[in-house]
Structure 1
Amino acid sequence: MSIASNANTAKLKEQFDAGLETRADFTIDQPTERSGAVDHAVWRQLYARQTALLEGRVCDEFLEGVERIGMPADRVPSFDEINAKLTPATGWRIVAVPGLVPDQVFFEHLANRRFPVTWWMRRPDQLDYLQEPDCFHDLFGHVPLLINPVFADYMHAYGRAALAANDAGALPLLARLYWYTVEFGLIRDDASPNGVKIYGAGIVSSKGETIYSQQSASPNRLCFDLERVMRTRYRIDTFQKSYFVIDDFEQLFGVAQTDFAALLKRLVAEPAFMAGDVLDSDRIITRGSQDGWQADGDI
């Protein structure tokens, strides 16, 4: 998850205690000298595993982004090298951060076409699960789509809307939109299992959720509807109970044109739906079997 619920994570404190010079916007210079042989080996293993697993499962735009950026397979990337390809294409650049940053700071970065990327890599014993995002999640999961102009514009518009939502006390509504698109979004592909492919970063950087989101009978797969998404709780501790499926990235571009101020004002007092709810008004792609679902824990 790339939106911080609070900035005082143990990992962030560790980075501050290590003496890395952290600016007011929580950015640092990428400490490349701290990436050792183990870090590069973990990157190689994760990169090889996920690129093999994603073939035929992830949307074409993601694979095109990996190729255009020239993301190295054998080492933790240099952020400057990534920016040399990314910035001329869409105006975005990545900035190094110690870990999760406060919501307001995160949104200000997005609103200015800066994507915060955690500099450190997970340990070898954390390949399959990590409580907070590391460099592999942030860089491999998020950045390839930022070179796609339509998705890049959506992320920029999202950042601006989220700043307004934060000021209006409507942050949970925008957090859900981010979760169900940027982190755990699916896209229509009638030739693929259950009629979907993957684009969300939380899925593409996870072996387990890559397979589950596309092939499992357990979750609901529902057609994307903006208001429905913004009123739907989600899971941070297990695989998702529901996924929302866009038709194409042009649909997200349409979302980016929304008058969010008026929408947030109208929705902020509306009750939220549970993560696994299926409504009469939903357009259902697959209705989940609910196998393995937990009864509580939606946020």
Structure 2
Amino acid sequence: MASDTHVFAAPPPGAAADWTIPQDWDRFSDAEHGVWDTLFERQSALLPGRASDAFLRGIDVLRLSRPGIPDFAELSARLMDLTGWQVVAVPGLVPDDVFFDHLANRRFVAGNFIRRADQLDYLQEPDVFHDVFGHVPMLADPVFADYMAAYGRGGLRALEYGSLKQLARLYWYTVEFGLIEEAGALRIYGAGIVSSASESRFALEDPSPNRIGFDLKRVMRTDYRIDDFQQNYFVIPSFDELLRVTVETDFAPLYAELATLPDIAIADILAEDRVITRGTQEYALARAAE
């Protein structure tokens, strides 16, 4: 996602005013393409039975199984035909207003670099594998594609209200780390989960985290962590319901209400929560004791 603490106050050299840069696909080395292939093979083996049907369909219709880092021009042409979205390259994290404007106009920004072979399991800044493998398949789903565009429009308004922290939580707990109830089971769709081998297992199978039914106000009050597995996952009933809640909510009075309410600490359970799994928090406690 975006960052309001980007190292640059203006687009870096070589970037356009909207922070986009040419992908320059030919510059990727065989070793870099090999990292993509290694990551893709690993996740592809893990995700059937764990990932949502929409995500798996996206992998198929966008032909992401082809070897090597995808060419954004080819990928965007297929995506445009499906949902009107395109993928554009950026040098790294971008300012919030730039990020939201791209989303609102159905442009998904993707980092134009890939992690090294010794960084397969964790990278602090999102790379092309996280951004393209993790996010783009869901943009082939018409309902989720509409949700992402609506989120971009909402982000621009949130900046006007000074409520970015609250809206960022919605992105975190849906787009990055969301779960969905599907065919009587929980499935993953958030990019931070589907692009991670360890979190793909942890989010669904570990007894540690809470898994809580999605509620918009609850999510927007809840803190999160960026440096480890999540202690809460929020579960939507469907993408249609996620989109409906987003477009039918008047966020101005919601932001005003949220400003009067305390934040909810990570791992807290409220009396009104629909608790699907009450976590043991064993993993987080063990990490805190290290």
Query: Fold-level match, TM-score > 0.5?
Result: yes
Deviation sequence 1:143-166 (CA, Å, 0-9, x none): 001111100111111111111111
Partner letter of residue 29 of structure 1? P
1:224 counterpart = 2:214 = yes
Q: Secondary structure at the match of 2:234?
A: strand
- How much has 1:5 moved relative to structure 2? 4.2
Which of 104, 111, 121 is the matching residue for 1:111? 104
One-letter identity of the residue aligned with 1:119:
N
Picking from 55, 64, 74, the partner of 1:71 is: 64
Closer, same or farther in 2 for the Cα pair 1:165/1:294, shift >3 Å?
A: farther
1:251 partnered with 2:244: no
Letter in 2 for 1:221: R
- Contact persistence 1:173–1:231 (CA under 8 A): yes
Shift of 1:168: 1.1
Once superposed, which parts of structure 1, at least 4 consecutive aligned residues long, lie more than 6 Å away? Answer: none
Mapping of 1:257-268 within 5 angstroms? 257=247, 258-268=249-259
Counterpart selection for 1:29 from 18, 22, 26: 22
The alignment yields a C-alpha RMSD, in angstroms, of 2.0
Task: Give 1:72 deviation, angstroms.
Answer: 3.7
Say if 1:3 and 1:175, in contact at 8 Å, map to a contact too.
no
Over the matched positions of the two proteins, sequence identity in percent amounts to: 52
Q: 1:260 to 1:296 in 2, by over 3 A?
A: farther
Amino acid at match of 2:137: P
Q: Give 1:184-199 correspondences, 5 Å limit.
A: 184-189=177-182, 191=184, 195-199=185-189
1:161 equivalent to 2:154? Answer yes
The structure 1 residue matched to 2:278, chosen from 275, 281, 287, is: 287
Give the equivalent residue in structure 1 for 2:230: 240
> How high is the TM-score relative to the length of structure 1?
0.92
Task: Please give the TM-score of this superposition, normalised by the length of structure 2.
Answer: 0.94
Match in the other structure for 1:93: 86
1:181 equivalent in structure 2: 174
Paired positions, count: 287
Of residues 131, 137, 140, the one that matches 1:144 is 137
Partner of 1:208: 198
Q: Contact between 2:177 and 2:192, CA under 8 Å: does it hold in 1?
A: yes
Q: Which runs of 5+ in 2 are unaligned?
A: none
Structure 1 gaps of 5+ residues are none
Greater mean deviation of Cα atoms: 82-91 or 217-226: 82-91
| Matching of residue 44 in structure 1 with residue 37 in structure 2 | yes
Contact 1:47 1:73 in 2 (8 A): no
